[in-house]
Each structure stands twice: as structure tokens, then as C-alpha cells.
Amino acid sequence: MKVMKFNQCNSANVVISTKRWISYTSPTAIIWQPRYSIRKKKIDCESSSIDPPYIKVTKSEGRILSIEIRSGIVREVPIYYCIHDDMLTISDSSKTFSHLNTILDDLSVKEFLVYGYVTTNRTLLKDVFCLTAGQRLVFENSTLSIENEYVYNTATEFDEDIPTLHEELLSVSESIFDQLIKDLEGRTVILPLSAGYDSRFIAAMLKLGGYEKVKCFSWGEEKHPDVGISREIAAILGYDWTHIDYNQSSWKETIMSDWLPELLCESSGYVSTSGIASLPFLNYLMRTKLDHADCVVLPGHTGDFISGGHIPLDLEKNSSIEDVVQSILSRHSLIGTDFLDATIVEELTNQISDFSLSLSLSL
């Protein structure tokens, strides 16, 4: 872990601690970006247009003038921050803060037990925060401010007919995957291929782009229908395909692995519970003779979620804030809705009310 300490930034000292980021330095600025980003290009610290996520420190004579942090629209990596004893600490690892503050946040703990995750930018640790998707942090003139620079909004309507929209979707998709294929620089794609649309879309677009260094994987019981569909998709596209059987032995080996506790801790980050479905698959990758430095994992996730597929049809028109709150609780509460703490309902209601107001003001 690299740690950089700066003398006074306005009225506070600053510590930036990173485990998985690489820094770029100029006489007037330092910029950090994830070192495992597949896009390998030199960063111009003086540029005003840098792709997030990043941490940018503007400096003069060893003193910080300002700090800007952007999480990006999907928050591909966590960025934590905390002000404690006149010290601003910024890090990509929640473990950085475990020795600064061991007091738990009551509301966050309640949410964690109900949902399996914490909402907004709170963490389980009191006064330790994590930027959410689309947020921007600025620390300047002794003031720390957080703003939402991107809010997912489906209010835009298109007048084009369906064939025209299909063509536009294909054009945008080809542009994205052309850049992705360029960034891969010949490395092998590790593609978890299920029966869902997300992963098969990735597979199909890679094939359309002429990329052949793709290894597809499917896991679970061999007779499961999804495994058969995955095998068929890979065969049609001409990609290498491997099935990983999930059984008592593979789960036992995974659970006893030395790397598991650290992975669960890092992936949880005091904000959510870690998914376990892919763990034996990860264990398989670790013990096979793959050149990990020459591989890029491209999983497909939640296309149905961002497209609105999880929104109940009865909420499409004339829904009240209470209707939305109850719908969210019914879907996301792990303990049902009969025994919820009143503060959970109150917090969610306030969040939906604030979002509804900000959305109406932006239209």
C-alpha cells in the first residue's frame, strides 16, 4: 500500500492511501487511477478531461490547493474518505479506517441487517463515507463538498421508430466494443457465460468485432438448463468453453482457501455483503495455469436492472412515495416487511422524497 502525506491543505492535513491505484505526477498535480484498468494510456495531469474514476490533487510548493475525486457512473472501485482529528484520509480500502474509528453507525447497521448493504454514502463505520456512483468530491478552501454529477434518468423520449432505434443501439454497441477490443491489446478474455442476455451480449459483440481470444466458463450443476444453453452459445460462436462443477468438494476447497477471508473483507468494504455464487469459479481460476497478467475478466451484470426490468408494472403510473417505498421494501428486505425498524422506513421515505424532488426540478 502506498501512502502519501501532505502538509496543510487549507485547515487540515491530508493522507491518501492506495493499494490498487497508480499515480501520475506533474509539477502542479498528482492523479491516481486504478492500476488494473484495462485501458493502458499515459495520463496528462494538466488535462481537464480525465476519465473517472480518479483522485486529483492540485498542489503548489508542497501544499495542496484542492482535491477532486470522481467515482464514475458505475463506481467501478470504492473510494473512502473520513475527517478525523483535523486529518482528511482518502483511500481505496476500507481497512485503512478500521484503526481510526471502530464505532459503528446505528442506522447503517440496521440497513445492513435488513438489506445486506448500506444505502447512500454511509458505511458501517461512523463518520467514514464511500462515494456512490456518479458522485464528485471537492475539497477546497477548507470546505468539503459532495455533488451528484450524474443521475440515471429515463425521462428522455425518442420519436424514432423501432428499426431506427435498433440501428442506433447497434451503432453505439459497436463503438463501445471497438474501444474495448482495442484496450484488450490481445489479452485473453475470461467470460463467465450464463443463459442470461448480459453475458451472451458480450460474447456476441466480441465475435462481431472479430476477437477470438475468449474463454467461456459456466458453473453449477452439469444438468442445469443454464449450463446447456451456455455450452450451446459458446459452440455457435466458436469459443472455448469450460464447465466448473459445483459440488460439496469444490465448495469445501473454496471455503478452506487462504485467500477467501481477505477477499470477503475487501469486497464487502463495510458497505455490503459479498456475493458467493462465483467463489468456486474464482478458486478454479486461481489454481489453473492461466497467465493472470494476460487475462481480463468480463462479467455481464444487471442489464435488466438499469433498463427498468426490476420496476413493478403497477408503479409505472400515479404511484405515491409510499407505494414506491413499500415496493422497494418488499423486494429488498431480507426479513420481510412486518418487523422493520421504523427508522428504516423513515430513511427510505426521505431518500425517495428527496430524489423525487431533485428529479422534478431537473425536468
Q: Is residue 297 domain-shared with residue 321, that is, in the same domain?
A: no
Q: Is residue 217 domain-shared with residue 287, that is, in the same domain?
A: yes
Q: Is residue 290 domain-shared with residue 249, that is, in the same domain?
A: yes
**pLDDT tens column, 122-134:** 999 999 999 999 9
> What CATH code is carried by the domain that includes residue 238?
3.40.50.620
Residue whose grid cell is 486504478: 34
Q: Are 13 and 87 in contact (CB under 8 A)?
A: yes
Q: What pLDDT, on a 0 to 100 scale, did the predictor assign at position 17?
A: 87
Count of structural domains within the chain:
3
- 355/306: higher pLDDT: 355
What percent of the chain shows pLDDT beyond 90? 51
Q: What pLDDT, on a 0 to 100 scale, did the predictor assign at position 156?
A: 64
The CA–CA distances, whole Å, from 222 to 77, 200, 225, 244 equal 33, 19, 8, 8
Q: Is residue 48 domain-shared with residue 82, that is, in the same domain?
A: yes
239 C-beta neighbours (distance < 10 Å), count: 20
Q: What are phi and psi of 358, to 5 degrees?
A: -65, -35
Q: Is residue 50 domain-shared with residue 96, that is, in the same domain?
A: yes
Q: Where are the alpha helices (DSSP H) in the chain?
A: 106-115, 162-184, 197-208, 225-237, 248-255, 260-268, 279-287, 303-306, 321-332, 342-362
- 18/45: higher pLDDT: 18
Q: Is residue 204 domain-shared with residue 224, that is, in the same domain?
A: yes
Q: Is residue 7 domain-shared with residue 85, that is, in the same domain?
A: yes
Q: What pLDDT, on a 0 to 100 scale, did the predictor assign at position 339?
A: 84
Q: What pLDDT, on a 0 to 100 scale, did the predictor assign at position 171?
A: 96
- Write the DSSP string, 182-198: HHHTTPEEEEE--SSHH
Is 156 a member of any domain? Answer: no
Mean per-residue pLDDT over the chain, rounded: 87
Q: Are 127 and 101 in contact (CB under 8 A)?
A: yes
- The DSSP bridge partners found for residue 90 are 16, 81
Is residue 359 scored above 70 in pLDDT? Answer: yes
SS3 of 71, please?
Answer: coil
pTM to 2 decimals? Answer: 0.85
Q: Is residue 129 domain-shared with residue 215, that is, in the same domain?
A: no
**pLDDT tens column, 67-124:** 999 999 888 889 999 988 888 899 998 888 877 777 899 999 999 999 999 999 999 9
Q: What pLDDT, on a 0 to 100 scale, did the predictor assign at position 202?
A: 96
**pLDDT tens column, 206-246:** 999 999 999 999 998 888 999 999 999 999 999 999 999 98
Q: Which domain holds residue 353?
A: 314-362
Q: Which of 117, 148, 179 is the last residue of a domain?
A: 148
99-113, 208-222, 273-287, 318-332: which is most confident: 208-222
